[in-house]
Amino acid sequence: MSSAEFSLIICLPDEAPARHDLSDGAVSIGRSPDNGLQILVAEVSVKHGSIGREGEAFILADSGSTNGTTVNGAPVGSDGVALSPMDKIVFGTFVPAYFVPSVVLDSTPMEELIASIEAAPKVAAPAAHLKTAPVATAVRAAVPLPGEPAAGSSTVKLDQVRGPAPSGIRPATVPLAPRQPLPGGPAAPRPAGVQPAKLPAVPPAGSPAPIPLKRPAPGAATIPLPKLPPKPGA
């Protein structure tokens, strides 16, 4: 029976699985013989990483190795990652190791324990910085949309904004009010068959008002106009 709390099962190519019980102190991992845990495989760096207890957890860190280290498929950096029971570790790309409770390993053959872990692999949790909560954001519309209430009371949600229209589809055209002709500009075309209204002539400003002509009443005396002398040669 082992007094260690956790152990590593390391599977080297063409060799039987090997057990390494973990202690409270940090253990270096690498290809060099001066490491506490030597993995004599060319793909493992000379100083590949380390594992050790910090508080209640065991922390696995990578020392900047050439081929890297993963836990349940997620890469491990120099800051390290806390291990959980039945985690699968891969040094490089093909040297697997399994972090298991020592008491379980005492009562279960290593081959059987490895097979159970491989049959139900863990999925690495997404990185914390990728977790985003849904944000309900609304943008006040400067111009009311068709079917929306008047300005000052309408909002447009971001999820209503659409991307570019698919190829070959033109957006709907919004009808515009007819333009009014500018003063002094060309008159708008007149529909066929419609005659313009005749307006009374307006005398120019400053001209004397015309004197209306009156017809003499029937039987009224008339003043004969003087006869002009005949023109020469007439």
What's the CATH number where 52 sits? 2.60.200.20
Q: Residues 90-104: pLDDT tens digits?
A: 999 889 999 999 999
Question: Which residues lie closer than 8 Å to 4 by C-beta, 6 or more apart?
Answer: 21, 22, 23, 102
Confidence of residue 122 (pLDDT cuts 50, 70, 90): confident
* Cβ 67 vs Cβ 45: under 8 Å: yes
List, in sequence order, the alpha helices (H) in the chain.
102-107, 110-119
Q: Per the domain annotation, does 220 fall within a domain? A: no
What residue ranges in the chain does DSSP mark as E strands?
Answer: 6-10, 18-21, 27-30, 37-38, 49-54, 57-62, 69-71, 74-75, 81-82, 87-91, 95-101, 138-140, 155-157
- Is residue 15, in this structure, part of any structural domain at all? yes
Q: How many structural domains comprise the chain?
A: 1
Domain-embedded: residue 32: yes
pLDDT tens string 150-181 = 554 444 444 444 555 555 556 566 666 666 66
Please name the amino acid found at residue 181. P
Full domain range(s) for residue 82 = 6-122
Query: Is residue 199 in a domain?
Result: no
Kindly state whether residue 127 falls inside one of the protein's structural domains: no
